[in-house]
Amino acid sequence: MVPSRAKIKEIALNRIERLFDMAIKMLHERPDLSQRYVEIARKISMRARVRIPGEKRMLICRHCKRFIFPGVSSRVRLQSRREPHIVITCLYCGKHMRKPLRRRC
């Protein structure tokens, strides 16, 4: 019997959450293993066609797709010029990701 689409999405989200939690725990001891956990989580999300939750998505570099954690493998700065925003710099590839702080009306 094939599980329903909703059940597949629920299982995928649970596994993604668990893999990210394990990646954060293993970050200081085995950074290569935490990187692998995030790669597996991304593959699960693509296969099951499930979006990675927003707070977890910010832990993946948009350019090199590596696991970045604030203070360890990324730098986080607040910018107040123009529109206030957060700038996350990946220390692996050096690229910047910007996230606005205010919602547009």
Whether residue 39 is found in the same domain as residue 85? no
Q: What's the confidence (pLDDT) of residue 16?
A: 97
Whether residue 12 is found in the same domain as residue 47? yes
Whether residue 2 is found in the same domain as residue 53? yes
Q: What's the confidence (pLDDT) of residue 14?
A: 97
Strand intervals (E) in 1-105: 74-79, 85-90, 96-100
Band of residue 2 on the pLDDT scale cut at 50, 70, 90: confident
- DSSP, res 60: B
Q: How many domains does the chain have?
A: 2
Which tens digit of pLDDT belongs to each residue from 13-69?
A: 999 999 999 999 999 999 999 999 999 999 999 999 999 999 999 999 999 999 999
Whether residue 39 is found in the same domain as residue 51? yes
Residue pair 92/73 in contact (Cβ under 8 Å)? The answer is yes
Whether residue 7 is found in the same domain as residue 42? yes
Higher local confidence (pLDDT), 104 or 97: 97
Which tens digit of pLDDT belongs to each residue from 59-99?
A: 999 999 999 999 999 999 999 888 899 999 999 999 999 99
Whether residue 3 is found in the same domain as residue 52? yes
Band of residue 104 on the pLDDT scale cut at 50, 70, 90: low
Whether residue 62 is found in the same domain as residue 96? yes
